[in-house]
Structure 1
Amino acid sequence: MVALNQLTVVTGILVTNLVNYSFANYGEDAWRWMFGLGVVPSALFFLGALGLPESPRWLAKVGKKEAALKILKRFGGVVFANQSLTQIESTLSNSVQKTTYSELFKKGVFAAILIGIGLAVFQQLSGINTVFNYAPKIFQSVGASQDDQLLQTVFIGGVNLIFTIAAMLLVDKLGRKPLMLFGFGGLAVLYLVIVQLLASSSATVTYYLLAAIGVYAMSLAPVTWVLISEIFPNKVRGKATSVAVMSLWAAYFLLVFSFPFYLKNLKMLPFISMPLFVWQDLYLCSLR
């Protein structure tokens, strides 16, 4: 289910890339259409949320048993509703005490928190979101036209979708750790090649960038979220997950917003920090 969430995200990215590419020849105002059309899915999301039921688990937690039962009946009937509510109440009874963030520092929990934060942060510091956010700038550096730059984002979205599906098929068969090792190791090797090709402005860098996207989509992208949802004790899972996710987006912020600074002030090609990603990924891959 967690990997399925990632699938819907990358599907949305691909649709957005296709829409943006359709406006490639609309002139200087094309970006306004690309940006403005975001109102359509946003409005649909808003309308859909109006009819979105409340979480039965939350309703049961705050003592609104009948409301929880009513919602569960809508999805699976009376028998399903009663069984589900019994299971919910059973899990809630094991965690009746209100948790605080201070409990995250307790022995046996703090180690898991550090692991969760590490997974989240290094997923972003692997650097691949530089490609997602600055693809046109990167392809411009190797001589691609504006039309080709947008077309490459479509290819990136397509590869991202295909390999996310592959990850969903493999995550339970191969396990979490093998996929994570494959992701960090694969990216490290590909980055070594990409750095050299970018330095020589070779157009063949496109194939290696797409390969890096595929490796990331099949490993770090979905599996990190799966691990974050699994490794924390039930009692503190909500707060622990929030800390890990906050760390992930903080690392994303640092990665994405530092890129223009590197590009402008160091006067170097995109992926100025990629050597760091190479050694980091090789190190993580070597861990057992």
Structure 2
Amino acid sequence: LGILAAQVVNWLIAKPVLAGESMLETWNAQEGWRWMFWAGAIPAVIFLLLLFLIPESPRWLYTKGKHEQAKRVFLRMGGEEYAAENIRSIAEAAELSQAKSRKRNLFQGKLLRLLLLGSFIAVFQQWCGINVIFNYAQEIFTAAGYTVSGMLFNIIITGVINVIFTFIGMYLVDRIGRRALMLFGSAGLFVIYIALGACYYFNCSGIFVLLLVLAGIAVYAMTLAPVTWVIIAEIFPTAVRAQAMAIATSLLWIACFVLTYTFPLLNQNLGAAGTFWLYGGVCFIGCLFLWSRLKETKGKSLEEIEQELEG
């Protein structure tokens, strides 16, 4: 919703660009970009204020010895029975994790394999290439033959699709499962990128490119985008979850930087067709890896997942 709101605000701020007019001489380039950044400060302040209403993680509280505070959070979430059941599960998992953590650390044995799995999934979420469409939408739609005004409106359409299919993904994640959605997402993006590269290669511009871009965003929004965060929050044992998630999340944003930085270089040397075919190859490799390594965690508590993966 935040991304869509930003896209709509930018569209409302921007003024039409006349045919043949230089972008550098327009109001958008001279003044509009300042309003764009000022508009972004408003939700940032609201977000900061709302952070004070978010409760601390009950599992983190329990691992720090704050058992009563952890119980109070669970009571707010689901009542006495829910709190007692979760506290008991956390206590059992914490005892097991502490016994194992005395013998080995995050960078050894099964924990290292889980860390590598979570890190791969985090990096793959970025290197699947979809964020290039968000970050370089102007170049992609311009190459497809759209004007500046058409490009800005198309960006709003991508935002609407992103929001709709994110909610669909939230509905499906506990019904279809994490593994199935990740496999569908990686395989779906592979097919879409191959077709998108073919459109650029054979100069099929306009509506064909727009439809494929929207299909790619839809697939990503209901699979890799939300499910990645669910998986990396579930697969790590309680005793090392904070450190492991910090590493995986850091690698995710490093991968985002690398993706964003390298796209212009790839586009310049490989062309739009070659670049999207390359991303398609990454998705194909990612799909094979997930098929062989990722286990389903649907319908299981964090403690049950820990016992299965550590067993």
In the superposition, the TM-score normalised over structure 1's length comes to 0.82
In structure 2, relative to structure 1, the CA distance for the partners of 1:80 and 1:272 (3 Å cut) is: same
Contact 1:68 1:85 in 2 (8 A): no
Residue of structure 2 in register with 1:139 after alignment: 141
Contact 2:187 2:287 in 1 (8 A): yes
Residue of structure 1 in register with 2:212 after alignment: 208
Q: Distance in 2 between matches of 1:227 and 1:97?
A: 24
Contact 1:141 1:269 in 2 (8 A): no
1:149-170 CA distances to partner (integer Å, 9 max, x unpaired)?
1111111111111111222222
Residue of structure 2 in register with 1:220 after alignment: 224
Point out the more displaced range, 141-150 or 81-90: 81-90
Residue of structure 2 in register with 1:244 after alignment: 248
1:114-156 CA distances to partner (integer Å, 9 max, x unpaired)?
2111111122111111001111221112221222111111111
Letter in 1 for 2:84: Q
Say which of 24, 37, 57 aligns to 2:14.
24
Q: Distance in 1 between matches of 2:72 and 2:118?
A: 36
Point out the more displaced range, 274-283 or 115-124: 274-283
In structure 2, relative to structure 1, the CA distance for the partners of 1:56 and 1:167 (3 Å cut) is: closer
Q: How far does residue 191 in structure 1 lie from its aligned partner after superposition?
A: 0.9
Residue of structure 2 in register with 1:47 after alignment: 49
Residue of structure 2 in register with 1:120 after alignment: 122
Number of aligned residues? 274
Does 2:240 match 1:233?
no
Does 2:3 match 1:13?
yes
Q: What runs of 5+ residues in structure 2 fail to find an aligned partner?
A: 17-26, 293-311
Q: Distance in 2 between matches of 1:152 and 1:77?
A: 43
In structure 2, relative to structure 1, the CA distance for the partners of 1:142 and 1:226 (3 Å cut) is: same
What RMSD, in angstroms, separates the aligned Cα atoms of the two structures?
Answer: 3.0
SS at match of 1:172: coil
Q: How far does residue 272 in structure 1 lie from its aligned partner after superposition?
A: 4.8
SS at match of 1:195: helix
Letter in 1 for 2:217: I
Q: Distance in 2 between matches of 1:81 and 1:66?
A: 14
Q: How far does residue 196 in structure 1 lie from its aligned partner after superposition?
A: 2.2
Residue of structure 1 in register with 2:196 after alignment: 194
Q: Distance in 2 between matches of 1:67 and 1:215?
A: 40
Residue of structure 1 in register with 2:158 after alignment: 156
